[in-house]
Each structure stands twice: as C-alpha cells, then as structure tokens.
Amino acid sequence: MAEPILVARSKEAIFLLPKMANRHGLIAGATGTGKTGHAANARGEF
C-alpha cells in the first residue's frame, strides 16, 4: 500500500492517507500561507 504523505507539521505531523485520496479535498488558509504550493506538492506525490 502507498505510504502516507506528509502534508503539514504542527504539534504533530499530519498525513494524507493515499487510500482516502479518491475523495474530494479542501485546502483553506489565509492568503500567502502555501495553498497553491501544497496542491502542487501533493499532485507530485500522486
């Protein structure tokens, strides 16, 4: 099975589970906080 994809680090690391990635997703945040950059990275992982 594909490995979990690290998407953020806070107090704990946050991972996207590839088996759940055929659902819709939402990237939200204030301007300039990395939404577009994250979407580009995640697309590369798939």
Ligand X SMILES: Nc1ncnc2c1ncn2[C@@H]1O[C@H](COP(=O)(O)OP(=O)(O)OP(=O)(O)O)[C@@H](O)[C@H]1O
Return residues touching ligand X (CB under 6 A).
Answer: 29, 31-37
Q: Which of 22, 31 has the CB closer to ligand X?
A: 31
- Shortest distance (Å) from residue 26 CB to ligand X: 13
Rounded Cα gap, residues 18 and 4, in angstroms: 6
b vs e for 36-45, b when ≥16 Cβ sit within 10 Å of the residue's Cβ?
eeeeeeeeee
Q: Does 36 bind Mg ion (CB under 5 A)?
A: yes
Beta carbons of 7 and 15 less than 8 angstroms apart: yes
Residue of this chain nearest to ligand X (CB atom)? 34
- Shortest distance (Å) from residue 15 CB to Mg ion: 22
